[in-house]
Amino acid sequence: MIRGMCSPLAHRACSTLLLALFVSAASLVAQQQPLTLETALTRGATLLRPSTRVVWSPTGHGGALILAPEQGPGFALRLDDSMAAKEPLFSASDLRRATGVVSIYGKRLPPWSFVDDDTIRFEHEAVLYHWQLPGNARTRRKAARMLHWPAGSQRTIAPGDGHAAYLHDGDLWLTSSGGDRRRLTHDGSADIVYCGAAHRAEFGITTGWFWSPSGRYLAFSREDLRPIAPYPYQDLGAIPPRPVHGRYPMAGRAHSRVTIGVCDATTGATHWLEHDPAADVYWTNLAVRDDGAVFVVHVNRGQDHLELVRYEPDGKKGPVLLREFDAEWIEPEHPVTFLPAGELLWWSSRDGYRHLYALGPDGKVRRQLTKGEFDVQRLIALGDEALWFEASGDDPRERHVFTAALDGSGQEQLTSLRGCHRATVSADLEFAHITWSSVESPPSSYFVELDSRDPIQQVAQKHPITDYRLPEHRFFDVQTKTGDKLHGEVYLPPGRQPDQRHPVLLYVYGGPHAQLVKNEFSTARGLWLQALAAEGYVVCRLDNRGTPNRGIEFEQRIFRRLGTVEVDDQLLAVKWLKQQPFVDPDRIAVHGWSFGGYMTLRLMLLAPETFACGISGAPVTDWAMYETGYTERYMDTPDENPEGYELSSCLPLAGELQRPLLLVHGTDDRTVMWSHTLRFVEQCIEHGTDLEYLPYPGQLHGLRGNHRADFLRRLRRFLHRHLGAPTAAEAATNK
């Protein structure tokens, strides 16, 4: 049964969920304003800003609904037992009064969470505050300062807020709610890095500190970068330019050494996990149990073998609980999660798809909890009898919410509407808040009662993007010679004439870990592609073999030969495009960034007469110059696979370039070194090959601010020059 949701902003009954909750394609027809690249660059973030979200209480199913900024000054509404938002909870101005800091956050709410139903926590200027909410008898108190640390320091806060750890001048410190401070390390430097995302942030590593669930124990990483050869970074903005110390681990060469420390926050005592200083292994996916035991996933340098190891509370190496092997590569990205009765939740692609398993305390697989020809993408919540997760289901372009029993007795898909769903679940596991969108419908959100599966309508919202006339969208499929189905999509100029042929931009990434073709609404950062389509271009994207969420075999098609099968697949998209009545086959361009920049070069060099022009951003040009963990996973080392490295390099092909190319790169790129582009430019000079080259001063791997806007405007001018600007007939429908 669908129940209405009332609030100070809306009070109306709902009829059916599909009609009242979601914005359909029909509601977009009446858009009046043309969408342009300038609109995307100047207003994109406001047009597609997230709408409402929910912050759950740590107990029960209480919580708060956070309204989107365009609905007025930032404030939160309390949710009642039926998920109705009936009363204001607090506002940004309340926080200013509570802290006595006039400038705090302006009109927006800071990131915050509940301590209990009547108290929230938030941070400001290196202080963690607790504040009792309006409506409580003690609400007139100022917010209490619970923890503080030096301004500008990276920090992590323990569960329960009893302690915080922070980095100061490279070393790790611990502070308590009582004000005590302890220095835990004494050798931090540019070459000895504590608590960073070790191993170049591969294997799902995003941080270097890990708390036990109770907040008593803190495990932390120490990464020794000194085995890595120095790299000649420069500060080109200085007068004169000055060298900047740094290191970069290239494929086949020495990389860092990682060790793990564990601190008992109640005493400050620290010990180090037992390790072999000579072992060339990756330390990944740490989890700390409340007794101080640490679970680590070790991956060998060749990345075809992992071991799940338990280290005892005193740091001694315990048993190897589990081993997994894969002849191509193995890439664990999730630590174990602790289940009842000492069991462990484990992620594995052992059956061909990424699924969840229950391991016994001894590491033996007891049950497979999720099954199907899809990859589990996210664990949402975990209870005593069931878990909730997100996965694509039967269509890899979608994302749905599922539940599975912990006894292995079955699973159920909870969402069915076509598109992508993302969920959060209340502490008592009775309700979920689900955000949904599709290519035609901007994000909407609603609640679901998990036992009955009954949806509950939320406040209707108007997205500013619906004031603009958006491109028409179509999915398409092509098939490889090996029988793999590849999913693609095109954005077509709105209101186009059936007999009108348009210029095309093939936007490509094509590398691991990135799926472009999804049945979800565009992000603000991708709105510029829709703007180009609205201005008269056909914009095409395709997910080739090697991209994620299609099972491990599909991903591993690229092993030891990057830039080969991916090119074949993208050319299938071009073949399909040339068969369409809305495409001008002589006016097709290609563009990509990073791996997509590499793919742009590969496509233009291996199919030199296919594209009218190309724009390559920050490309890898020779995999022997890229970082160890990523490159060796897919290519092995240069000594092990010299033919593959030669085959995958763009440098020997520089003389094959026939069509106009714009090549851009940030001069301070720390991911794909600027030298990749410099070497390719040098090869073009050697071969007498013409190209346009633009370095962006001081920019990192992704362009930001004015540099990004300059590049996108420059890209459009380059397309106009070499494809011809869309004609009046091609662009008139967006007026």
Q: Give the active site residues.
A: 594, 669, 701
Taking alpha carbons only, the member of 476, 471, 473, 475 closest to residue 495 is 471
Side chain identity at residue 705, one-letter code: G
Measure the CA–CA gap between 653 and 606, rounded to whole angstroms: 8
Phi/psi at 538 (5° precision)? -90, 125
Cα 60 to Cα 116, 120, 426: the distances in Å are 10, 16, 7
Give 174's strand partners: 165, 182
Side chain identity at residue 274, one-letter code: E
Q: How many CB atoms lie within 10 A of CB 18?
A: 10
Taking alpha carbons only, the member of 452, 471, 618 closest to residue 535 is 471
**End-to-end Cα separation, the chain, in angstroms:** 44
Measure the CA–CA gap between 315 and 680, rounded to whole angstroms: 49
Report the DSSP pairing between strands 502-507 and 538-542: parallel
For 540-568, letters b (16+ CB in 10 Å) and e give bbbbbbbbbbbbbebbbbbbbbbbbbbbe
* Strand boundaries in 528-582, DSSP class E: 538-542
Measure the CA–CA gap between 285 and 281, rounded to whole angstroms: 13
Cα 463 to Cα 13, 314, 455: the distances in Å are 21, 55, 22
CA 326 to chain centre: 25
Side chain identity at residue 420, one-letter code: C
Q: State the Rg of the chain over Cα.
A: 27
Taking alpha carbons only, the member of 490, 538, 483 closest to residue 516 is 490
Measure the CA–CA gap between 655 and 71, rounded to whole angstroms: 56
Taking alpha carbons only, the member of 567, 538, 558, 535 closest to residue 732 is 535
Measure the CA–CA gap between 620 and 419, rounded to whole angstroms: 33
Cβ pair 122, 74 in contact under 8 A: no
Which helix (H) or strand (E) segment is 632 a member of? helix 628-635
Measure the CA–CA gap between 495 and 39, rounded to whole angstroms: 19
Is the sign of the CA dihedral 350, 355, 357, 363 positive or negative?
positive
CA 129 to chain centre: 29
Which helix (H) or strand (E) segment is 567 a member of? helix 565-578
Measure the CA–CA gap between 358 and 366, rounded to whole angstroms: 6
Phi/psi at 605 (5° precision)? -90, -35
Give 613's strand partners: 589
Measure the CA–CA gap between 263 and 176, rounded to whole angstroms: 13
Cβ pair 558, 550 in contact under 8 A: no
Measure the CA–CA gap between 156 and 158, rounded to whole angstroms: 7
Cβ pair 507, 735 in contact under 8 A: no
Q: Which residues, including other chains, have CB under 8 Å from residue 61's CB and lie 6 or more apart?
A: 79, 81, 83, 426, 427, 428, 430, 431
In a 3-state reduction of DSSP, which class is residue 503? strand
Phi/psi at 286 (5° precision)? -80, 145
Measure the CA–CA gap between 574 and 584, rounded to whole angstroms: 11
Measure the CA–CA gap between 483 and 466, rounded to whole angstroms: 39
